[in-house]
Amino acid sequence: MNPLSGTDLRADTDPDSGTGSETTRFQSAAGLNFDNSQIRALPFAFLRDRPHRAPAPRLVAFNAELAARLGADPDALRRQAAAWFSGAALPPGAEPVALAYAGHQFGGFSPVLGDGRAHLLGELVAPDGARFDLQLKGSGATPFARRGDGRALLGPMLREYLVSEAMAALGVPTTRALAVVTTGETVFRDERPGQGAVLARIAASHFRVGTFQFFAARGEIARLRALADHAILRHDPALAGREGRYLAFLDAVIARQVDLVARWMSLGFIHGVMNTDNMAISGETLDYGPCAFMEEFAPGTVFSSIDHQGRYSWANQPLILGWNLARLAETLLPLIDADPDRAAELANARLGGIAALYERAFLARMRTRLGLAGEDAGDAALVADLLRAIAGVDWTLAFRRLCDAAGGDLAPLRALFRDFAPMEAWLARWQARLVPDPVGRMRAANPAVIPRNHLVGQALAAAEAGDMMPFQALLAAVRTPFVEAPAFMDPAPPGTPRTVTYCGT
């Protein structure tokens, strides 16, 4: 059945699913422990589909630290990675599927999206019992592909690897990259050839707001309930089986997403495509296509090539946070209460509090970054006045140089400004609120290194030309973001073209 028809979605569509003997003929000591509970519990939520078999896979990036976290033997897994993470072969226990979901994309609703170029291989159980999805991205067209070729280019896959590792090092909840493998095939975008590549992505899960929208839009309440119960078991097990669990689940998702967006905002990170199919129930940052870190502070900053109206600008991210969560709440209404009016009343009470929750979370992040002692009623105004004062100044360096100013050295901060006057009065107010001995605490909260756009571009261009050294050097730097590394700290030189990012499809 064609999933785009919107009439049915079955788990047994593709007989070449990679299950059975095909998943057991590969013997390895790599130590990947599969237990695919989602496939067992939600057989209606995916289509079985085998990844495209890459003809000449080659491993170009491998995350040994993450492999160890998953309980794998990094050396053994590295030896298998080119085959297993390219679709050329499947690891024992893998059951590849394409997940179904819907989504609002730039405000317009698509009732059927789904993984068009990604295959969930299954769930890995780490030694501590934590569960992680293992997904291949760029692994070939699935029945959800919507006329795309299902392939990915090396540059965008390395970009996701690099930026997601930076986010992890900065303490931001995120999916992570386990490996990037080139396929040996040529992929064309805008009639230009490039190297095909596949990203092996690790996530707490791939449940999205759009996953719930898929079943809600079809009126499949029993399946929606099964999805919600499984998501609760996965992410909020203390709620499992409780009366009122769906409203409590909404509360939990709101709390995770508020924290996530507050972290993005405090770091100057712009996701770039906050569609509901990219909002993870787990609270992890999902999808690193058009993302970038802001350099010169301008609230309306957008990097995405397709965001012509600034819907997903830095300043709009908190607004979209609330909008997306409202879409999730709509799907849960039949589960929250049998009385539609009562369900709406309960959900609206939660949604009405999101703005205040976000303001508190963002202010808490900024208090930490500014080294403020305790809480004060004037802190919101202090932060707002700082943001006005640093307009046009490099976001990351402004906060890093405030660390020097906290120690009495104003020269590095002053050097960032053409006109330092707006900062003069603010500094006195700020210094009166500092914790004792603030410098060390502030340097542990304000990164010196981020994946600066021009450096990312240079590293990816070199990688595409066969030189991985710039990528590896930048990766090492962003993995220790609080350590000053002068070669990776400067903004783009004058005259550098404005960064434009793409989704990579």
Q: Is the pLDDT of residue 16 over 70?
A: no
Contact (CB, 8 A) for 199 and 138: yes
Domain boundaries, the chain: 3-206, 213-362, 453-488
pLDDT at residue 9, rounded to an integer: 53
CA distance 198 to 180: 6
The model's pLDDT over 216-264, given as tens digits with 9 standing for 90+, comes to: 999 999 999 999 999 999 999 999 999 999 999 999 999 999 999 999 9
pLDDT at residue 502, rounded to an integer: 75
pLDDT at residue 2, rounded to an integer: 45
- What one-character-per-residue DSSP string does 33-60 give? -B--HHHHH-TTSEEE-PPP--SS-EEE
Contact (CB, 8 A) for 293 and 453: yes
Give the number of other CB atoms < 10 A from CB of residue 190: 5
The whole-chain average pLDDT of the chain stands at: 93
Q: Is the pLDDT of residue 14 over 50?
A: no
Q: Give the pLDDT mean for 418-444.
A: 95
pLDDT at residue 504, rounded to an integer: 56
Residue 401 Cα to chain centre, angstroms? 28
The SS3 call for residue 174 is strand
Percent of the chain with pLDDT over 90: 88
Q: Is the pLDDT of residue 10 over 60?
A: no
Catalytic positions are: 277
Q: Is the pLDDT of residue 3 over 80?
A: no
Band of pLDDT at residue 204, cut at 50, 70 and 90: very high
Residue 385 Cα to chain centre, angstroms? 30
| pTM exceeding the 0.85 threshold for the entire prediction | yes
Q: Is the pLDDT of residue 101 over 60?
A: yes
The interaxial angle of helices 395-406 and 354-370, nearest 10 deg, is 50
CA distance 380 to 383: 5
Token pair in block for residue 26: 């590969």
